[in-house]
């Protein structure tokens, strides 16, 4: 796709520092890293959202991300790893091409997740069951 920086990287028209390549996915260094060693695992086929990705490609993406997560512990000294998918604009997906972030974690690295104060208090068991019922019925 012409407007997709990941497709440009895959075609060779934009630079990237690759850490992994196979016939299904590639991984390369994020140019706006959250932490030292932050990588992206990207399917070769342009698929904007997670629901668009073939199941075997999604599984391959996570297998590679898992492997890279293990590698950064030994090679970069990370003490933890976050695997993260931003799926859709409201989930902070900046590039409309499915990808998995491999974010090495270090003590006091400054990265964190903040949780919404939407509920004020945790939801009741009844509310959780209502939500669970809606999801189960859609399966």
The pLDDT tens digits for 38-66 are 999 999 999 999 999 999 999 999 999 99
Is there a catalytic annotation at residue 46? no
| 87-96: long-range pairs with CB below 8 Å, 24+ | 87/49, 87/50, 87/51, 88/49, 93/49, 95/4, 95/5, 95/6, 96/4, 96/48, 96/49
Please tell me the predicted confidence (pLDDT) of residue 119: 66
Please tell me the predicted confidence (pLDDT) of residue 1: 60
Q: Is residue 84 part of a domain?
A: yes
Please tell me the predicted confidence (pLDDT) of residue 43: 98
Three-state SS for 7?
Answer: helix
The pLDDT tens digits for 73-104 are 999 999 999 999 999 999 999 999 999 999 99
Please tell me the predicted confidence (pLDDT) of residue 31: 96
Q: Is residue 23 part of a domain?
A: yes
Q: How far apart are CA 2 and CA 8, in angstroms?
A: 7
Of 38, 46, 97, 99, the catalytic one is 99
Q: Is residue 123 part of a domain?
A: no
Domain at 46, CATH number: 3.30.428.10
Q: Is residue 13 part of a domain?
A: yes
Looking at the 3D structure of the chain, how many domains does it have? Answer: 1
pTM: 0.90
The average pLDDT across 6-28 equals 97
**Residue 64: domain span:** 5-111
Please tell me the predicted confidence (pLDDT) of residue 2: 66
């Amino acid at each position: 796709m012409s407007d997709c920086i990941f497709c440009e990287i895959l075609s060779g028209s934009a630079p990237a520092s690759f850490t992994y390549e196979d016939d299904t996915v590639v991984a390369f260094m994020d140019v706006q890293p959250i932490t030292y060693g932050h990588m992206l695992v990207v399917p070769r086929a342009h698929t904007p959202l997670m629901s668009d990705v073939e199941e075997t490609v999604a599984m391959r993406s996570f297998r590679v991300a898992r492997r890279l997560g293990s590698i950064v512990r030994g090679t970069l000294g990370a003490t933890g790893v976050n695997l993260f998918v931003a799926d859709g604009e409201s989930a902070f997906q900046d590039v409309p091409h499915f990808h998995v972030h491999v974010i090495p974690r270090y003590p006091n690295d400054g990265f964190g997740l903040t949780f919404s104060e939407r509920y004020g208090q945790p939801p009741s068991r009844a509310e959780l069951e209502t939500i669970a019922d809606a999801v189960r019925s859609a399966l």
